[in-house]
Copies of this chain bind each other. A is one copy, B any other.
Amino acid sequence: MKVVVDAFGGDNAPLEIVEGVVLAIEKNKDLSVILTGKKQEIENILNGRTERIEIVDADEVITNNDKPTEAIRHKTNSSLVKAYDILKEREDVVGLVSAGSTGAVLAGAIMKIGRIKGISRPALAPILPTKLDSDVIIIDSGANIDCKPINLLHFALMGSAYYSIIYNKANPKVALLSNGIEEEKGNELVKESHSLLKNAPINFIGNREGGDFMSGEVDVMVADGFAGNALLKGTEGAVGAVLSLLKKSIKSHTLSKIGALFMKKTFKELKERIDILKKHAGSPLLGCKKLVVKNHGSCRRYNICASIEQTMLLHKNNLVEKIEKSLEALEKVNNND
């Protein structure tokens, strides 16, 4: 299975990206990778570890300062555009991984690869831990700021298909973010979306509040990209704030410092559980005709490796086809109305 990786996207490119590819290659014997970017630099990092790795030279880089659509149109020799060209043209390439500018990755996906028929807005769906053993995804987390009810319906379908693959769970619980669990609660967008989700071929459990996000009760939280972004970032910020207060307090009491030594295992466990974003794959851009996984700009080799493996998993489990099928099922429901 072949995946193309943008070696020059992200704050820690190219080193962490290339090392992430090497990790993935070592772990997966059926994987081969095409790296796009400045060939000499990539070769220097690889230092001979070239088995199943192909390099396609690209000497330009798209930055966060570039205007996304213009960059995709004009920076034709950039590592990202080259990667998209390869994903588009080569049938054996099943997906693309990039940690580059979100706007440019989005623009490239739409302009070069195209959307699944019927989907007008591809969406991002990052993973967060819950207080139980399960994880939760939020869709959309910020790719689509002003949304219509039909977009939220599609987010629900795509999120459900995605979650069911990555956690191997049939009928994940889909909820709609609102300011109360009652059906009549919500802003205009939520109220209109609620009735669409109720009739969709998903396991819709109704409206849930921001406070239910990490409760374990929800698998797929559906929101417009603005509220979704507020919830995602607010959650991450709150988790960080609690840990920061905890650390500060431990430092200021000698007994607490001693206690902390005994609690090493707990702190490690806690860190592993809540640092899920740090170790995890990026988010696929759900709704594209081919797999595109967007990593956080600050990601490290482990994230890149995880994203490549996620791409493989999603391909093996036919994510794109699953989304297409759920759109068909939706159409059937609507026709029968």
Interface residues of A (CB under 8 A from B): 129-131, 142, 145-146, 177, 179, 186-188, 190, 209-215, 223-227, 229-246, 249-250, 253, 255-256, 258-266, 269-270, 273-274
Contact = CB atoms under 8 A, between A and B. Distances in A.
Contact of A253 (B224, B229, B266): B266
A313 B258 CA distance: 42
Given A179-B142, A234-B211, A236-B211, A265 B255 contact: yes
A243 B214 CA distance: 12
B245 A273 contact: yes
Contacts of A214: 237-238, 240-241
A245 to B, nearest CB: 6
Contacts of A274: 242, 245
24 contacts: A142-B179, A145-B179, A145-B187, A177-B230, A209-B229, A209-B237, A210-B234, A211-B240, A213-B234, A226-B227, A234-B235, A235-B235, A235-B238, A236-B238, A242-B242, A242-B270, A245-B270, A253-B265, A253-B266, A256-B262, A256-B265, A259-B263, A260-B263, A263-B263
Given A225-B179, A259-B260, A259-B262, A230 B241 contact: no
A137 to B, nearest CB: 14
A243 B260 CA distance: 16
A131 B231 contact: no
A108 to B, nearest CB: 19
Nearest to A234: B210
Nearest to A253: B265
> Which residue, of A215, A229, A260, has the highest number of chain B Cβ atoms within 10 A?
A229
A184 to B, nearest CB: 11
Main secondary structure of the interface of A (DSSP, over half): helix
Contacts of A241: 129-131, 214-215, 239
Contact of A262 (B179, B225, B262): B262
Given A231-B234, A255-B265, A240 B187 contact: no
Pairs of residues from A and B, 7 with the lowest C-beta to C-beta distance, nearest first: A259-B262, A210-B234, A210-B233, A259-B263, A238-B238, A211-B237, A211-B233
Contacts of A243: 242
B232 A246 contact: no
A66 to B, nearest CB: 14
B259 A231 contact: no
A191 to B, nearest CB: 9
A182 to B, nearest CB: 10
B250 A266 contact: yes
Given A209-B229, A215-B241, A230-B234, 15 more contacts: A179-B230, A179-B233, A186-B226, A209-B230, A210-B235, A226-B227, A238-B238, A242-B243, A249-B270, A250-B263, A250-B266, A253-B263, A253-B265, A255-B263, A258-B259
A287 to B, nearest CB: 19
